């Protein structure tokens, strides 16, 4: 019985011991192993997140690469157009630079031209004053020289260049062109005006519109008359760089003053002089009434030979006048005439230059 008790007790003790050891083991496990398991779990979680991030990064990299590839493809698709636009901008920039350089050169050129124009203006005035002195000497009988101011009205025309060629071919002959913008149509009138100036001839004002009837813009009123002189002055200045200073009435002063009696004072107010002529080729008018070149030669020779200072009226649209000039001028030079350009500063003839 006792043995049985001890066996039972031992068994209980053994069970208790086993339980105690189990409990201690459990406690040990709980105290030592459980935290480790938690860390592992956490580590696994971090590793999982890292892996996820890695995957996300790889996905983003793939997407970026795909988008870049797409962008390159797009660029290749718009390539020629894109290249053309870039090229045109580059071209525009180069052209702008070139234009700026040209502009700077032009500005320098204008400054030089203004200097040159001032010099030419001064030389012209000096020359005009010499002519004026010569006129005074001729009028007082101190000089046997004779002056002819050969004037040509209504140009430039389609044959003005022929007149200029003929004058170039003669020895030291200078004339005066009374230009009228609208009197004749010629494709190169501005070029002709500049050639007249640079050839040493004089370019003067014959109104802008050159309409001789009383209803036209030249003689409609004193205001209109003034405007016509101003318009032509502005145009000639723009083309040649010089203000004319002498006006010739379309149709002559007697005709013009019959419509605008105050015309001489208008001219004076504008700082101008005006002249008519004291010799006339009568080379204008209806075509069937125009004189032959031989008649013009006779008129030039006889009329000019009577004058110490002659101012002859001709027109550089009449080809017979061109022929007559070629013949008459050398003969008149032999008689002692010099052919000079007319300047405002040298007009001393007063009423003697008015229409005869
Ligand atoms: Zn005229």
In tens, the pLDDT along 241-296 reads 999 999 999 999 999 999 999 999 999 999 999 999 999 999 998 889 999 999 99
**Measured on CA atoms in the order 289, 309, 197, 216, is the torsion positive or negative?**
negative
Q: Residue 15: what pLDDT?
A: 61
- Compute the average pLDDT of residues 87-106: 85
Q: Residue 123: what pLDDT?
A: 87
Mapped onto helix, strand or coil, the DSSP state of residue 147 is: strand
Cβ–Cβ < 8 Å for 91, 99: no
Does the pLDDT value for residue 116 go beyond 70? yes
In angstroms, what is the span from residue 256 Cα to ligand 1's centroid?
A: 12
Given the DSSP bridges, would you call strands 146-153 and 309-315 parallel, antiparallel or unpaired? Answer: parallel
First-to-last CA distance in the chain? Answer: 186
Q: Residue 54: what pLDDT?
A: 80
Q: Residue 355: what pLDDT?
A: 46
In angstroms, what is the span from residue 70 Cα to ligand 1's centroid?
A: 78
In angstroms, what is the span from residue 79 Cα to ligand 1's centroid?
A: 66
Query: Which residue is associated with the tokens 């027109």?
Result: 315
Label residue 356 by pLDDT band (50, 70, 90): very low
Question: What would the pLDDT profile of 200-222 be if each residue is shown by its tens digit?
Answer: 999 999 999 999 999 999 999 99
Does the pLDDT value for residue 349 go beyond 60? no
Give the bridge partners for 147, in sequence order.
309, 338
CA distance 311 to 175: 10
Q: State phi, psi for 242 to the nearest 5 degrees.
A: -130, 140
Cβ–Cβ < 8 Å for 218, 321: no
Q: Residue 46: what pLDDT?
A: 77
Q: Residue 250: what pLDDT?
A: 96
In angstroms, what is the span from residue 155 Cα to ligand 1's centroid?
A: 9
CA distance 249 to 263: 9
Neighbours of ion ligand 1 (CB under 5 A): 153-154, 250
Does the pLDDT value for residue 303 go beyond 80? yes
Question: What would the pLDDT profile of 118-164 be if each residue is shown by its tens digit?
Answer: 888 888 888 999 999 999 899 899 999 999 999 999 999 999 999 99
CA distance 300 to 306: 10
In angstroms, what is the span from residue 126 Cα to ligand 1's centroid?
A: 29
Which parts of 50-145 are beta strand (E)? none
């Amino acid at each position: 019985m006792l043995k049985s008790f001890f066996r039972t007790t031992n068994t209980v003790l053994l069970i208790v011991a086993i339980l105690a050891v189990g409990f201690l083991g459990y406690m040990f496990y709980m105290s030592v192993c459980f935290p480790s398991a938690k860390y592992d779990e956490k580590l696994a979680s971090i590793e999982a997140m890292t892996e996820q991030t890695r995957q996300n990064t790889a996905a983003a990299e793939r997407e970026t690469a795909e988008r870049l590839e797409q962008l390159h493809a797009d660029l290749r698709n718009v390539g020629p157009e894109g290249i053309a636009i870039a090229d045109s901008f580059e071209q525009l920039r180069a052209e702008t630079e070139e234009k700026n350089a040209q502009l700077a050169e032009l500005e320098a050129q204008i400054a030089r031209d203004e200097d040159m124009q001032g010099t030419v203006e001064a030389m012209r005035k000096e020359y005009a004053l010499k002519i004026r002195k010569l006129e005074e000497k001729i009028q007082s009988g101190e000089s046997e020289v004779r002056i002819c101011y050969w004037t040509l009205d209504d140009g430039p025309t389609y044959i003005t260049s022929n007149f200029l060629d003929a004058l170039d071919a003669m020895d030291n002959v200078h004339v005066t062109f009374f230009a009228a913008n609208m009197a004749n149509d010629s494709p190169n009138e501005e070029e002709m005006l500049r050639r007249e100036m640079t050839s040493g001839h004089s370019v003067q004002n014959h109104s802008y519109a050159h309409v001789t009837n009383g209803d036209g813009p030249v003689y409609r009123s004193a205001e209109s008359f003034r405007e016509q002189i101003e318009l032509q002055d502005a145009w000639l200045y723009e083309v040649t760089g010089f203000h004319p200073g002498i006006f010739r009435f379309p149709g002559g002063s007697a005709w013009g003053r019959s419509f605008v009696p105050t015309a001489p004072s208008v001219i004076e107010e504008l700082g101008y002089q005006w002249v008519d002529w004291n010799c006339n080729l009568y080379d204008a008018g209806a075509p069937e009434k125009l004189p032959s070149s031989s008649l013009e030669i006779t008129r030039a020779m006889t009329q000019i030979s009577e004058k110490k200072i002659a101012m002859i009226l001709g027109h550089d649209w009449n080809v017979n006048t061109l022929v007559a000039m070629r013949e008459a001028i050398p003969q008149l030079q032999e008689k002692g005439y010099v052919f000079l350009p007319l300047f405002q500063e040298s007009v001393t003839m007063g009423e003697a230059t008015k229409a005869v």
